[in-house]
Structure 1
C-alpha cells in the first residue's frame, strides 16, 4: 500500500540526492585531474628564473620520452700521452662547446670560481685559448638565452671579473656565501642546458681545467627527467644566494625529490636499463628525499662484491679545514671493512703535486700496509703524477690529477668533492650514481661502470702511476713536483 511522504521527508531525500551528485562530480573531477596532472599538488609552488617566475611543474619529473645518452669526458693535460691502444674519451672542452651549441632556452651553471681567461691568472698562455673560447660563447649567448650562474663567494685571491662581464651581457649571477652559511664553500661543478642536457664532474670554470689539469666528468643528453632533478639542486643554491639569505629548515616541498639511494630513477641510458640518482652535500642542503653525498659513497662501498677503485685528488680521513682538526674515519673504515670482511679488492689512485697535504700520506701508508704477508688483504695505493716542463710548472695550480670518482663491479660514482671530512660536512658538492647491474647487454664496455673502470685501469697501469713508498720520500717528491 502506497504511503505518501511528508514534505519534510521529501526535502531530506532531495538534499541527500543532491549531495551524492555533488560528491560524484567532485570525485570524477579529481580522477580526471590526477590522470592529466599527476603532480598538480605542487602547481601552486613557484621557482624564480631569469625570465621571471615559472610554475614548479616545469621542474617536475614528467619522465624521459627518449632514451638518455651518456658520454664520459676528460681533460688530458698537454704533454701527457698514454699508449696507442689506451682508452680515449671526448674532451671536456668539446663537450662544453657542444652543450653551448645545443642551448636554445637556458643555461644554469653551479661553480666554485671562475678563471676562464689569461687575464684571470695573470698569464699569457696559448693553452688558455680553449677556456677563452668557452667564455666568449657564454658571453655571446648571455644576451639571447637565460643564463644563470651560482658561484661561491670569492676569497681574497679570487675574482668575479668573468662574471661581471657575463652580467653586462645579460646573464644573472648569484653569489653564495657558504662560509657564512655552513663554514664551507660551494665546491659544485655542473651545467644544466634547456632543462634537458647536463654536465657534472671535477672541472672548474677555469681554462686550466681544459688543458693543464687532468679532469673527468660526464655529459648526459636528452634526459629531461634527470636534468630537472639536478635543477632542484641548482634552485636550492639560487635560493640561498645573496648577503641576507639563510638555509631553510625544513626545505619547501618543491625542492624535495623522490629519487635517492633507496628509490633511484629508472630509465634507459643508451638503450640500456639504468638506475640513477644525485646525492648532495652537506646534509643541510639536502631537502626531503635527497641522499647526502657521504651516505651515497658509503652505500656504494658496502654494495661492492669484487672491487672498489677510487680516483680522487685528496684522500684524508680528517677534517682538514676545521680548527682543531678532527679524525674523520667514515670512508676509511668502510674501505677497510670491505677488504677485511668481504675480501673486496680496493685500489686508491691519489694525486701527488706541490700542493698535496703532507698529512695525507701516513693515512695512505696505513691503508697500503694492509697488503702484508700476514693474512694479506687486496689493498693497493698508488700516487698519480702529472708530468710538467719547466714552463708548465710556472702555471699556478696546474699539472695535477683532479679526478673525483669511484667505480665498483656494480656502480659508477662521479662527484665534485675531495675525500676529506669538511667536503661532506660543510661544503656543497654533488655526486651522480649510475647502476646498470640489471643490464643483460653483451656489448663490450657498454655500461658506465665498465667505461669508468677502463679509465681507471689505463691510469693505474700508466707510467704516471707510482707505488707508495715511505712517507718521507713521498712527501719530498710531491713537494718539489
Structure 2
C-alpha cells in the first residue's frame, strides 16, 4: 500500500512539471505564409510556403458562417488618382507590374462572402491618413450581416494602435502574421505569417481576444481608464482601470468577458510559469519527421490588459523563445523595427527585455544570435545605436575572465529591399518625383524569432509600445517542421545579396 501511495505521489509531481495543455480532436493543418516583393530575382522561393494573397482569398471564399478580421488599416484597392496616397500618379501598367490586382481580388472575396450572407466583423484602427477606413465602411454599408468598428487604443493608453493582423474564418481557419490589409503587403513588402486550417480550438481562443477588442470599442474609455504610476517602467501613464499596474484597492473589475486573473504582483504582470499550451497534432505537408509525438503550440497577446485564461503576454512569448535555444545553438530574429526604448510615450521608457535575453543566451548558452532588421525609407535613426550596443555583448563575451569561457556571438544585418529609397507617389504637385515604387513599400516587415526547437510568429515590432500599449497576436510552436521551415525562410534572407552587416562602435568603414 505504501508503495502504491508513493507511486501516485511521484505521478502527481511529474504532472505538475509538465506544460498545461488544452486537448483537441481537430484535424488541424498549417502552413507558413509569405509575401515577397517583386524585382528581387536573387531571393530564392521556399518550397511549401504559401502566398499571403492566396491565403486571404481562401479564408474569405471558404467562409460559410463567419469571418472576423483585425486590421491596422485598409487599402486593398489601389488609389492612383488620390493625391494624398502613396499610389498617386502611377499608371495602370505600373500597378499591374506591382501586382495591385491581387489586393482587388482579396477585396472582392470579402465582398462575395458578404453577399453570401456570411456574418462579418471588421475591426480596425482609425485615423490613419488618408482614408484607410473607407473600404471596411463600404463593405458594411447597407448590409446588416457586416459590422465595422474602429478602435483608438490611444484613448486607453495615451498612445498605441490596433496593430494585429488576424483573420478568423468559420471559427476554425486562421491567419496570424505581419501582412496588413493592403495590396502592397501582398506584392511589395516582405511579410511572414501562419495559416491554420481546421484548428477550431486555436481559432476559438483567438476569437476570445477579438471579442475583447470588440468590447473595448464599445466602452467609454474616459470611465474605464486611470492614470497609473507604473513602477515597472518608472513613468506615469494612462491604462485601463483593471490594469495590474494600478494598486489593487484602486483597481476596477474588468468589463471584458474573459480576462486573466493573476496573483497580486507589483509592479505589473508576472511571467507565467505554466502558460497554456495546445496539445494538437498540427499536420504539415510534406510530413518529413520520423517522430510522431505531438509537439505543443501556444498563443500570446498584447497588451497585457487583454490577456485571458492562462495565455502569456507577447513579450514573454518572444523572450521564452530566445531562451529556448540549446547549448551552442542559434537564435534567428527577424523584425522591421528594433528599439531598446519606447517610440511614442512621453517620457521615454528604457526597455531592455529582449536585449537582455539575447545577451543572456550568448553568455549562459554560448549561443549565436542572428538579427535581421529592416533598413528602409522610414528607418528610425535611434535604431543603429541600440543595435551597436547589443553587439558590445561580443566584446564582453570574448574578454570574459571567468573560469568558463564565453563563446557566444551576436551578428546583426540590415535588410535593404531594392528600391527602398525610391518609394512614394510618382507625382507630387504636378511634378514627377522619380520614385519607382508606391509609398511605404520595399521593406522587410515580418516579425518572428526561431531557435533550434521553437518558432514564434507575431505581429509586433520590437519596440516597448507594441507590447504594452498596442494590440498584437503571436502563434508559437515546438513543431520541428515549422522550426526548420522558418529557419529556411530566415536563412534565405540572411544569405541574400540584400543584406549588409551592422558594424560595432568604432568599426565604421
Check whether the contact 1:153–1:178 (CA below 8 A) recurs between aligned residues. Answer: no
- How far did 1:421 drift? 0.8
Give the structure 1 partner of residue 310 of structure 2: 289
1:459 corresponds, among 486, 493, 499, to 493
Q: Does 1:133 align with 2:125?
A: no
Where 1:403 maps in the other structure, the secondary structure is: coil
Shift of 1:85: 7.5
| SS of aligned partner of 2:276 | coil
Please state how far the C-alpha of 1:418 moved relative to its aligned partner: 0.2
CA offset digits 1:111-144 (Å, max 9, x no partner): 1111111127343422211111111221121132
Secondary structure of the structure 1 residue equivalent to 2:106: helix
Tell me the distance in 1 between the aligned counterparts of 2:44 and 2:317. Answer: 36
1:367-382 matched pairs, under 5 angstroms: 367-372=390-395, 374=399, 377-382=408-413
CA deviation after TM superposition for structure 1 residue 88, in Å: 6.1
Q: Distance in 2 between matches of 1:242 and 1:290?
A: 24
The residue matched to 1:65 in structure 2 has which SS? Answer: coil
How many angstroms apart in 1 are the aligned matches of 2:141 and 2:506? 51
Shift of 1:473: 11
Cα distance in structure 2, aligned partners of 1:78 and 1:406: 25
The answer on 1:338 being equivalent to 2:338 is no
Question: Secondary structure of 2:120's match?
Answer: strand
Provide Cα deviations, 1:357-397, integer angstroms capped at 9, x if missing partner.
Answer: 01000111122243346455321001111112857644110
Match of 1:10 in 2: none
Deviation (angstroms), 1:63: 5.4
**Following TM superposition, by how much is the alpha carbon of 1:156 offset from its aligned partner in structure 2, in angstroms?**
4.7
Residue number in structure 2 paired with 1:307: 330
Distance 1:345 1:114, change over 3 A: same
Instruction: Give, in whole Å, the separation in 2 of the partners of 1:267 and 1:200.
Output: 17
Please list every run of 5 or more consecutive structure 1 residues that lacks an aligned counterpart in the other structure.
Answer: 1-60, 437-445
Do the aligned partners of residues 185 and 384 (structure 1) sit closer, same or farther apart at CA in structure 2, a change above 3 Å counting? same
More helix as a share of residues: 1
* 245-254 or 320-329, which deviates more: 245-254
Aligned twin of 1:209: 185
Tell me the secondary structure at the aligned position of residue 177 of structure 1.
coil
Aligned partner of residue 50 in structure 2, secondary structure: coil
SS in 1 for 2:355: helix
SS of residue in 1 equivalent to 2:346: coil
User: What's the Cα RMSD here?
Assistant: 2.7
**CA distance in 2 between partners of 1:263 and 1:396 (Å):** 40
1:262 to 259, 263, 275: 275
Is 1:175 the counterpart of 2:153? The answer is no
Shift of 1:404: 0.2
Identify the residue that residue 455 of structure 2 maps to in structure 1. Answer: 412
Tell me, in whole angstroms, the C-alpha distance in 2 between the residues paired with 1:116 and 1:424: 27
CA contact (8 A) 2:341 2:350 kept: yes
TM-score (norm 2): 0.74
Note if 1:165 corresponds to 2:165. Answer: no
Q: C-alpha separation between the residues in 2 aligned to 1:472 and 1:132?
A: 49
**In 2, distance between residues paired with 1:109 and 1:82?**
34
Select the structure of larger CA radius of gyration: 1
Of 294-303 and 327-336, the range deviating more from structure 2: 294-303
Equivalent pairs counted in the alignment come to: 406
Kept in 2: contact 1:261–1:296 (CA 8 A): no
Change (3 A) 1:165 1:267: same
Q: What is the CA deviation profile of residues 171-227 of structure 1, one whole-angstrom value per residue up to 9, with x for unaligned ones?
A: 201111211012211111000000010000000111110011000110000111111
| Pick aligned residue for 1:388 from 419, 423, 439 | 419
Please give the per-residue CA displacement for 1:422-447, whole angstroms capped at 9, x wherever unaligned: 111111111111123xxxxxxxxx61
Distance 2:201 2:241 in 1: 25
1:149 aligns with 2:122: yes
* Structure 1 residues 237 and 248, CA gap change in structure 2 (3 angstroms): farther
